[in-house]
Chains A and B, each alone.
Chain A
Amino acid sequence: MIELRNLSKQFTTIDGPVEALKHINLTVQDGDIYGIIGMSGAGKSTLVRCINMLEKPTEGSVLMDGRDMGTLSEKELRQARRQITMIFQGFNLLMQRTCLKNVMLPLRFGGTDRNAAEKKAKELLELVGLPDKANSYPAQLSGGQQQRVAIARALATEPKVLLCDEATSALDPKTTHAILDLIREINKKLGITVIVITHQMSVVQEICNRVAILEHGTVVEEGTVTEVFANPRAQATRNLINPADTDNDSVFPEGGQRIRVIFNGAIASREPLIAKMAVDCNILASILGASTRSVGDKAYGYILLDIPGTPEDLAKAVSYLSKTPDVTVQVEAEYAAKEGEE
């Protein structure tokens, strides 16, 4: 069990002190896959580095099975770090060493003899699905394969906790999925507690059982993933669940009428909402973009629609869609406004 108690971290910069973390209190139970999510700059990376004391907290403590990590000597800390290993966004493999040597590294640091380390490393490469890459160099592998080697390396010392610092952020969606599967498998098979740092809600949703939402260095919401998704209380959580600005960089043709249909826990997944609107109102909307996800039977996210026809049609569509519980509609572009602006 890992407990963060009143954890704060202050950095001194040229512009004065910066509070990266403010009075964090979290408990991660054994066997959890615990997500810590936040936008960039929220303090996620600092938080995870405080857990294994790569960053020394300014205040508060980190308890690993009741043992205060902050009070350990250098030597004890190195020992403790073998129990809390880490994987990274950039994989951080030694580029001049073979995969096998990379996996052997933490064992060699711990004084395991070469033969035993090699045997263990080979088993681990097998576990992560890369037994044939033992003698390859990291530069010869794809990103997903490199992260697998990094996972094998992180498991070498048989840790109790695995820290994943944006471990899938540099990977494509398919590879992300495969790596998350592997992490879940490791959690189940080996009983390793996993702490996942990410800015992607999809990652939390896919593997975590609990989640903490971090904003400006504070935990604004914490709970089981189902709970938090079903009933997000903090604005930061809603922003993460419904990232309204994800299509900001899209360019739409001028002169159209667009509305954003926002699902905030609507039981819409079973209702063909847009199709029904076509039948009931005779409005043939086309979907310009969408980002929705289901949690249980509830839908979160949004659909961006282009509404053809007159401003009356637009008004009709808005009022029709707004009737559905837990659905809100925002008008993004209308004829009058457009012409008025120009």
Chain B
Amino acid sequence: MNFASAFTAERLEEAWQCLLTEFPFAIWETIYSTLLATLFAVIIGLPLGVLLVTGEPKGIRPLPRPVMTVLNVVINLLRSVPFIILMVMIIPLTRLIVGTSVGTVASIVPLTVAAFPFIARLVESSLREVNPNIIEAAQSMGASPWQIVVHVMLPESVPSLITNITLAITTIMGYTAMSGAVGGGGLGKLALAYGYQRYRFAVLYLAVIVLVLITQVLQSFGTWLARKCDKRLRDK
């Protein structure tokens, strides 16, 4: 197959038709699987990230060392398995939860499993940025560990959390494209199944361009929101 022949007038016309017919739904699938996976990953990863900070020996509520070790090992293990392999590995879990391992909805399970350890680490790093003196001040006021987390650590790290969650969303979106290789839906599937396997390279490139655009928009929005929320940046 000649590469240049993928961009003839006929092929471009075909790609344009595809953009109008196939793309809208694929974009929708990409966005909702990304956002839902992020949501579930935050629900699991946020508390774990909090525990990583509060539970360490010098934290506000130290946990037994074995617990922290297990937590760290599990997170590191999940983080080190390449996503595309993780997806295949946890097919039984996906079947158990969704009933099938194929389709956009099913892809949310591996996406979540891949993303929550990442989110946990990001939350950990955000919380570590909180000035320890402020935490000490809260302790001196008689705050309980739970109150310190809810009233001090999380609110104080909101701008950093937003920045990091934005990073997570863009990464997870990259994963959704990969999930297209093993049954997931969205732009990744379109690019791979339609563009690559059927030699419609114009469609492949178009899908990539759309992914880049969505990433750009999300990233810009996240950066803007983080700055807007940061009360340290208020004018005097």
Which residues of A are at the interface with B, using a C-beta cutoff of 8 A? 52, 54, 77-82, 85-86, 88, 90, 92-97, 105-106, 108-110, 137-140, 153, 157, 163
Q: What is the distance, in angstroms, from B145's C-beta to the closest C-beta of chain A?
A: 9
Closest chain B residue to A142, Cβ basis = B236
The answer on a CB contact under 8 Å between A95 and B151 is no
The answer on a CB contact under 8 Å between B140 and A54 is yes
The answer on a CB contact under 8 Å between B155 and A140 is no
The answer on a CB contact under 8 Å between A79 and B236 is no
The 4 closest A-B pairs by CB, nearest first: A92-B137, A81-B142, A78-B142, A106-B141
Q: Does B124 contact A (CB under 8 A)?
A: no
Please measure, in the bound complex, the distance between the C-alpha atom of A165 and the C-alpha atom of B99, giving whole angstroms.
61
The answer on a CB contact under 8 Å between B133 and A97 is no
The answer on a CB contact under 8 Å between B143 and A78 is yes
Please measure, in the bound complex, the distance between the C-alpha atom of A106 and the C-alpha atom of B148, giving whole angstroms.
11
The answer on a CB contact under 8 Å between B138 and A105 is yes
The answer on a CB contact under 8 Å between B141 and A109 is yes
The answer on a CB contact under 8 Å between A139 and B232 is yes
Q: Does B198 contact A (CB under 8 A)?
A: no
| A-B pairs with beta carbons under 8 Å apart, 8 shown | A78-B142, A85-B140, A93-B134, A94-B155, A96-B156, A105-B151, A137-B234, A139-B232
Please measure, in the bound complex, the distance between the C-alpha atom of A90 and the C-alpha atom of B232, giving whole angstroms.
15
Which listed residue, A78, A88, A97, A140, touches B137 by the CB 8 Å rule?
A: A88
Please measure, in the bound complex, the distance between the C-alpha atom of A90 and the C-alpha atom of B231, giving whole angstroms.
18
Give the one of B137, B156, B159, B236 with max A CB within 10 A.
B137
Q: What is the distance, in angstroms, from A244's C-beta to the closest C-beta of chain B?
A: 33
- Provide the residues of chain A in CB contact with B142, threshold 8 Å: 77-82, 106, 109-110, 157
- Provide the residues of chain B in CB contact with A82, threshold 8 Å: 141-142
Please measure, in the bound complex, the distance between the C-alpha atom of A92 and the C-alpha atom of B140, giving whole angstroms.
11
The answer on a CB contact under 8 Å between A157 and B141 is yes
Main secondary structure, interface of B, reads helix
The answer on a CB contact under 8 Å between B156 and A137 is no
The answer on a CB contact under 8 Å between B231 and A96 is yes
Which listed residue, B151, B156, B159, B232, touches A108 by the CB 8 Å rule?
A: B151
Q: What is the distance, in angstroms, from A55's C-beta to the closest C-beta of chain B?
A: 10
What is the interface size of chain B, counting residues whose CB is below 8 A from a CB of the partner?
27
- Provide the residues of chain B in CB contact with A80, threshold 8 Å: 142
- Provide the residues of chain A in CB contact with B143, threshold 8 Å: 78, 106, 109
Please measure, in the bound complex, the distance between the C-alpha atom of A94 and the C-alpha atom of B141, giving whole angstroms.
13
Closest chain A residue to B141, Cβ basis = A106
Which listed residue, A77, A139, A153, touches B234 by the CB 8 Å rule?
A: A139
Q: Does B147 contact A (CB under 8 A)?
A: yes
Q: Given A88-B133, A90-B133, A137 and B232 touching (CB < 8 A)? A: yes
Please measure, in the bound complex, the distance between the C-alpha atom of A93 and the C-alpha atom of B143, giving whole angstroms.
14
CB within 8 Å of A: which B136-180 residues: 136-144, 147, 151-152, 155-156, 158-159
Please measure, in the bound complex, the distance between the C-alpha atom of A72 and the C-alpha atom of B153, giving whole angstroms.
26
Give the one of B141, B155, B232, B235 with max A CB within 10 A.
B141
Q: Given A92-B136, A109-B151, A140-B236, A85 and B141 touching (CB < 8 A)? A: yes
The answer on a CB contact under 8 Å between A97 and B155 is yes
Q: Does B13 contact A (CB under 8 A)?
A: no
Q: Does B233 contact A (CB under 8 A)?
A: yes
The answer on a CB contact under 8 Å between B155 and A92 is no
